[in-house]
Amino acid sequence: MTDYRGHKLFNPLYLFYLESPKRDQWQMPEQVLDALRVSEGQVVADIGAGGGYFTEKFSRRVGANGHVYATDVQPVMIRKLKQRVERRALANVTVVRGEFDDPRLPDGSCNLVFFSSVYKEISNRVAYMKRVRQTLKENGRVAILEYRLDTKAPGPPRKYRLPERQVVTEFQAAGFRLVEHFDFLKPREYFLVFAPQPDAVP
């Protein structure tokens, strides 16, 4: 982790780790997208997209009629994202410079908002997720992948990890309900999917 504008974030010096071929083995990205039912024509936001590992996979899956918003707050990550979009000709991707308190996405635009090992880096998470809720289309969802407290696999220091129960509680406070819980990323990560509570206060 590194300090950036008073926040603890993923250190860009280790971006090579996120692009390692081994990641396909332990994070099973295609199975993740299958579980989320990502399909042609959808709009997906990849929050804290880093170098664009998942962004590119979303781009291929949603196709020319879909769209992907790839956001990050660190300038170096924004540069890496733009380079990947240009190099891989990802015409359906928009790179967005997000803020710590706002993903800067259009209201009512997304079928899915996706966080891979990023949620823990948000300071005021309940307020942030209330803002994310506004970006969702009807029947939109939010997916969270985070490291388990007890995994011995390489990853963020244990003191920065969040208990699964805490994530669920925070989402409930932000007006969401847990709708799906997948276990196939054990023992390294947990994988949660949330949808807005119909009667949640904006």
Distances (CA, A) of 72 to 84, 110, 118, 159: 14, 17, 10, 23
Residue-range definition of the domain harbouring residue 172: 28-196
**What secondary structure letter does DSSP report for 21?**
T
* Closest residue by Cα to residue 176 from 138, 141, 135, 125: 141
In this prediction, residue 15 carries a pLDDT of 63
pLDDT tens for 132-186 read: 999 999 999 999 999 999 998 888 888 889 999 999 999 999 999 999 999 999 9
In this prediction, residue 123 carries a pLDDT of 84
- The number of folded domains in the chain is 1
- What distance in Å separates the CA atoms of residue 170 and residue 77, rounded to the nearest whole number? 27
Residue 63 inside a domain? The answer is yes
In this prediction, residue 42 carries a pLDDT of 98
Average of pLDDT values for 88-109? 95
In this prediction, residue 5 carries a pLDDT of 52
CATH number for the domain spanning 120: value is 3.40.50.150
* Closest residue by Cα to residue 195 from 132, 152, 106: 132
Asked whether the beta carbons of 45 and 107 are under 8 A apart, the reply is no
3-class SS of residue 14: helix
Residue 202 inside a domain? The answer is no
Residue 162 inside a domain? The answer is yes
Residue 99 inside a domain? The answer is yes
Token reading at 84: 């990947």
Please enumerate in sequence order all residues whose Cβ is within 8 A of that of 117, keeping only pairs 6 or more positions apart, or say none: 10, 48, 145, 146, 147, 155, 156, 189
pLDDT tens for 28-56 read: 999 999 999 999 999 999 999 999 999 99
Backbone angles phi, psi at 17, to 5 degrees: -65, -40
- What distance in Å separates the CA atoms of residue 50 and residue 52, rounded to the nearest whole number? 6
- What distance in Å separates the CA atoms of residue 69 and residue 35, rounded to the nearest whole number? 20
Amino acid at 36: L
3-class SS of residue 53: helix
- What distance in Å separates the CA atoms of residue 61 and residue 80, rounded to the nearest whole number? 21
Residue 79 inside a domain? The answer is yes
- What distance in Å separates the CA atoms of residue 128 and residue 146, rounded to the nearest whole number? 17
The helix or strand, by DSSP H or E, that contains position 189, with its residue range, turns out to be: strand 189-196
Residue 160 inside a domain? The answer is yes
Residue 107 inside a domain? The answer is yes
Beta-bridge partner residues of 110: 136
In this prediction, residue 163 carries a pLDDT of 96
Residue 22 inside a domain? The answer is no
Token reading at 80: 């890496």
